[in-house]
Structure 1
């Protein structure tokens, strides 16, 4: 006997001992009642008290004798075993007004039926939906718990729509109630037609059935409309929250994550998450309400037939679970076989010269035929298992239906059931099985769907990997920028230092040029000045205060940048110039365009400042886009202006006009990255960077006189014979 078999036998032994203890409790109660009054009868409240005591006794015994690993299993079984009789009797009392079934208590036959029924339902359910045990079960349980937490989070997001959801649930309940009455009305119609015809009763039954159909349709439509309204509001809320959180992330986050992937999460995944949860909740609640209503009518019609119906679902669930496990194994084998077949065919067809030269055609045909035969065997096994599965399912379904019909005939013969009631029960039984399947499978589908959207929640929960901006916002800044021993590396290349202990200063009222070969660290300095990133060591200071001490909006109001390839947004020219500003007058827009030498060509456009620039500014030339970008920076009247090759695509006259504007600046801090010698020569201060370090700095004359790196690389750094750009 294997070690794995021991826990199984121990578990079975504990269950058997507890079952015997419960039988002993029943026998003791029976004996005591017979000795007290000679009848052995027990009212409903005493029955509930007895079974509660029995539950406590059995659970205490299971705690003493059973391992902790099977405690959850025994707890569920003991609860089912103890409370099935009083629940059944209570329902019978509510339906018929008299206590039936297990009373007078205890009837030995009904006790044995109760024990057998509860044990059967428990065993089949546990085999169909196993809990714990193996490491795989533990992993699945943990996964289910995480999915449940995500599901509850989505539901919490729907809290603001409680009025819509409340109305939807009300309409859902009414629609399910009316729909549940329809088979009952059909049964009444059949009873009227099978007996002596009475026009009044027939008209009343037909009218009631029509009213139920109308109510079901009307409230069903209203229910769907309210759920769709709630779904739309939920999608809007989640998308807004996700977009808002994405806007707070650092720039390196957008460099590491593709924009297409983020857009998909923002649009597709949020819609899928909200839609699947809303739709499944709709179906789940509808199935739950209908199941409760149908169970009420079925018990009212016949508790014996209802018991047969309730046995069917656990049996089918166990069979379906077993078939799913076999199907997964076969599907993996079939996938491996398909991959082998494809690889073999691809390799042979791609190497036909070698196959032909060695006369190996027959050998390759045999190999390919062998793989096809293996695939055929797998498909044959799959077909056999499928046929057996369908056969067993049909056998159980048909067998229980036949048993139900036989029992129905006996009930009709004894006068406990009418023909119309039996027909109504058949309708209820069919819908009952369908709704129970929905209750079992839709909840799992909800968990899987919410779990697939876990990336959305990860993005919602993500915190920016930067220090939070401060609240410093002085009325005026001088504009003195200082790098103090700044060391920086990008997140994508943590081992490569883009800046190595850089120390430099940008003075107010002066034009500073940042030059050097590609990869020297110029762009990294610009990114740090805009606080796109934060240095690993050192500080970037503005007026002796670290940049992260300033308010985010305030800092980017005082610092403006124009890049070599500026980004324009789809919209008018005016919209792009005043981008980010509120209530900006047209006169101010035109003034900035004049400074950037953009006013003339804007006026020549078809609609002037209202002309649409197209997607990413595609309707404009590269030079025109740069002019608009410079106007967009100048309109803010920034204290610090950064130009990164901002005039590289302009013609000579436009470049000169922009240069004149820069020369007239007296109180602003201007940083220029340029490859034009003319621009650099007029700078008040030149900083030469190479390999992430400041190598030289000074004026053009000082650096030329030093004859250092700036002097030796002058011809490579600058386009000394620049041609006008188109």
Structure 2
């Protein structure tokens, strides 16, 4: 109803072009039969002249009616015009026979040629598209090929297992191919004059080939499963290692659910790209070639007829892959979002319970699952239509094959046993062709998952860890020089701007200021969690990035406000990250952190379990363990970020007194802690506003003086 006049004209023009082309082609097709008896040319010359005439006439009609010939029309016209000549010439040259589409051509031959040319052209259009689509398809295939080769290279340690599996696969396929052949032999022996020796011999060979096929298939599965298991473990470890080397900003911008999905789901899909898919591909390909050769010996005519199913099946599979893979990617992303909700809830269960948001989070999880469910429901109709089309194609080919098989038996071209063997081969061949067309789509999907894994494996952290400097002596003098920094999640919001500060060796520096002004950012940059946009941080007059990563984080230790403990014993948590750490060193660090006494009161002492996240210890005990974990490294620079809020005065004094020679950087909101600092630095607006001792800053009566009641917990701070 909404079609314009121009649209109606286009439709009318296409209709006229189609009717004209059909009329002209049918006239020429039937004229060929009349001319054949009076032709002065030879049989083959007449065939090809007639094909050229039909091609020229159809091209001329199309140009006159439509005014243009696009590549798809050219392929349809060429294949439709040349197909009878090609088929007749090939049959005559190879088998010295004439086809029914020779001189006595009729409407059935014309319809078969038209249908075959249309299917072939459509298959070409989808498999090898033109112009921009062709370029995009070529780029996609090239990318898939590169990814596949990379996955194959990762299987190098399992090459012997893969070669063993390939050998067993070949033996299994060869044995399996001959079973239908001897089945037909048995039927022929039973259907004609019974010969006991031949019958027993055929049964014996059937049994031997069946046994060989079963044994080889079992060995093949064992070899490949071992290779798959080893590969999966190794690729997961590599991916996990690559993830742990990324900068902190990566984890702030990447969802946890996406990361866990790559580790659990995509690595599993990767293993299918080689071991499973290549196994199926090679087995099916070898078996298909063998069956086609045996079928050609039984009846070449029926074989060519059966092979007409290939372009139709490939066309159906290609259309299905295009739509189904797009939906599969959407399902994977949706599942990653659902996993993200679970991770957030589990890691924040205390907040969830405190704010009574159980129902809200359940609804949020249900919404994510419903999104996944909707996408999967969209997949089901696509798969249902695909299965229906595939089943109809197979059944239609079986009906046609049975019809012509009966004709060949009546004419003496085949025996009943040969037809039974052919039917058995055809049944397997149809499945193999469908498997081949399916496996390419599945390999593309598997390689796509590999691309996501390689994206993380190839990613280089924005904070470099390639430094090599490991000096024997380190004084711990730290200089922040003209720093400018913005977090990766908020690149337009500058946190530090032209920031300069010196932390002198052996002195305690306290950072003060209201929340969000840059104190914790200084700590993060000193720990190299992020890379500043401008300026540099020097440690003993050398840039931080020039130091060896492991060495740097042993010499600069951090104790945060909310320390994280890992499941395991207290001893494991204190010695965390140190390969060789004696119990004496662990106990000495615990004494400095005032943790030794409470640890020894526990039933298992230093072997006592802390629980998940340190849940079996109080907050102050977790803080003391974290301080001991930092001190056992004997750092030259120690950072204490708001730790005094969880410690009593005795533990705090002991922790600060245990660092007489280290450079100490403290962020605290207790006046008793700030007063002990050799240098107090007031940070505001991403810059250093004031610096000096407590007494000097109080006498100055600037920002520190005005903010003392807000900054410190004491109600009546000493002047």
TM-score if structure 1 supplies the norm length? 0.74
Partner of 2:150: 156
Change (3 A) 1:318 1:155: closer
Q: Match of 1:584, SS?
A: coil
Check if 1:591 corresponds to 2:588: yes
Give the C-alpha shift of residue 426 in structure 1.
1.0
Answer whether contact 2:151 2:274 (CA < 8 A) is retained: no
Matches within 5 A, 1:195-206: 195-206=192-203
Give the C-alpha shift of residue 132 in structure 1.
7.9
Partner of 2:308: 311
Q: 2:270 aligns with which of 245, 270, 273?
A: 273
Change (3 A) 1:13 1:685: farther
Partner of 2:579: 582
Answer whether contact 1:519 1:692 (CA < 8 A) is retained: no
Give the C-alpha shift of residue 301 in structure 1.
0.4
Change (3 A) 1:243 1:320: closer
Partner of 1:680: 674
Matches within 5 A, 1:623-642: 623-642=620-639
Change (3 A) 1:279 1:134: closer
Q: 2:560 aligns with which of 560, 563, 569?
A: 563
1:347-374 per-position Cα deviation (integer Å, ceiling 9, x unaligned): xxxxxxxxxxxxxxxxxxxxxxxxxxxx
Matches within 5 A, 1:692-703: 692-703=686-697
Q: Match of 1:648, SS?
A: helix
- Which segments of 5 or more consecutive residues in structure 1 lack a partner in the other structure? 35-39, 42-50, 329-381
Partner of 1:191: 188
Check if 1:528 corresponds to 2:501: no
Partner of 1:511: 508
Matches within 5 A, 1:176-187: 176-187=173-184
Give the C-alpha shift of residue 121 in structure 1.
4.3
Distance in 2, Cα, partners of 1:448 & 1:325: 11
Partner of 1:233: 230
Answer whether contact 2:313 2:437 (CA < 8 A) is retained: no
Change (3 A) 1:312 1:154: closer
Answer whether contact 1:164 1:226 (CA < 8 A) is retained: yes
Q: Match of 1:647, SS?
A: helix
Change (3 A) 1:394 1:567: closer
Change (3 A) 1:32 1:543: farther
Answer whether contact 2:249 2:488 (CA < 8 A) is retained: yes
Distance in 2, Cα, partners of 1:652 & 1:709: 27
Q: Match of 1:498, SS?
A: strand
1:567-614 per-position Cα deviation (integer Å, ceiling 9, x unaligned): 111122111111111221211111111111111112222222222211
Distance in 1, Cα, partners of 2:538 & 2:14: 69
Answer whether contact 2:519 2:683 (CA < 8 A) is retained: yes
Matches within 5 A, 1:111-510: 121-128=116-123, 130-131=125-126, 138-139=132-133, 142=136, 145-146=139-140, 149-150=143-144, 152-159=146-153, 160=156, 161-275=158-272, 278-315=275-312, 400-451=397-448, 454-467=451-464, 469-510=466-507
Give the C-alpha shift of residue 270 in structure 1.
1.3
Distance in 2, Cα, partners of 1:68 & 1:249: 56
Q: Match of 1:203, SS?
A: helix
Greater CA deviation, 161-170 or 674-683? 161-170
Q: Match of 1:671, SS?
A: strand
Distance in 2, Cα, partners of 1:676 & 1:228: 61
Give the C-alpha shift of residue 488 in structure 1.
1.3
Distance in 2, Cα, partners of 1:9 & 1:543: 87
Give the C-alpha shift of residue 177 in structure 1.
1.8
Answer whether contact 1:484 1:502 (CA < 8 A) is retained: yes
Q: Match of 1:505, SS?
A: strand
Residues paired across the two proteins, number: 628
1:220-270 per-position Cα deviation (integer Å, ceiling 9, x unaligned): 222222222222233233323322221222111111112232122112221
Change (3 A) 1:529 1:403: closer
Give the C-alpha shift of residue 276 in structure 1.
6.1
Q: Match of 1:177, SS?
A: helix
Partner of 1:367: none
- Which segments of 5 or more consecutive residues in structure 2 lack a partner in the other structure? 1-7, 326-379
Partner of 2:599: 602
Change (3 A) 1:418 1:103: closer
Distance in 2, Cα, partners of 1:482 & 1:323: 62
Partner of 1:37: none
Partner of 2:362: none
Answer whether contact 2:321 2:441 (CA < 8 A) is retained: no
Distance in 2, Cα, partners of 1:216 & 1:472: 61
Change (3 A) 1:77 1:650: farther
TM-score if structure 2 supplies the norm length? 0.75
Distance in 1, Cα, partners of 2:478 & 2:620: 29
Distance in 2, Cα, partners of 1:255 & 1:516: 25
Q: Match of 1:613, SS?
A: coil
Change (3 A) 1:171 1:313: same
Q: Match of 2:646, SS?
A: coil
Change (3 A) 1:721 1:618: farther
Give the C-alpha shift of residue 525 in structure 1.
0.6
Partner of 2:642: 645
Change (3 A) 1:167 1:120: farther
Distance in 2, Cα, partners of 1:133 & 1:189: 46
Distance in 2, Cα, partners of 1:157 & 1:284: 16
Give the C-alpha shift of residue 388 in structure 1.
14
Q: Match of 1:548, SS?
A: helix
Answer whether contact 1:305 1:404 (CA < 8 A) is retained: yes
Q: Match of 2:535, SS?
A: strand
Distance in 1, Cα, partners of 2:386 & 2:509: 83
Partner of 2:664: 670
Q: 1:714 aligns with which of 708, 714, 717?
A: 708
Q: Match of 2:497, SS?
A: strand
Partner of 2:684: 690
Give the C-alpha shift of residue 115 in structure 1.
11
Answer whether contact 2:151 2:450 (CA < 8 A) is retained: no
Distance in 2, Cα, partners of 1:69 & 1:677: 87
1:309-336 per-position Cα deviation (integer Å, ceiling 9, x unaligned): 11234346667889999999xxxxxxxx
Q: Match of 2:219, SS?
A: helix
Q: Match of 1:446, SS?
A: helix
1:99-119 per-position Cα deviation (integer Å, ceiling 9, x unaligned): 634699xx9799x99999888
Change (3 A) 1:298 1:6: farther
Change (3 A) 1:238 1:316: closer
Change (3 A) 1:78 1:451: farther
Change (3 A) 1:394 1:575: closer
Change (3 A) 1:196 1:561: same
Give the C-alpha shift of residue 444 in structure 1.
1.8
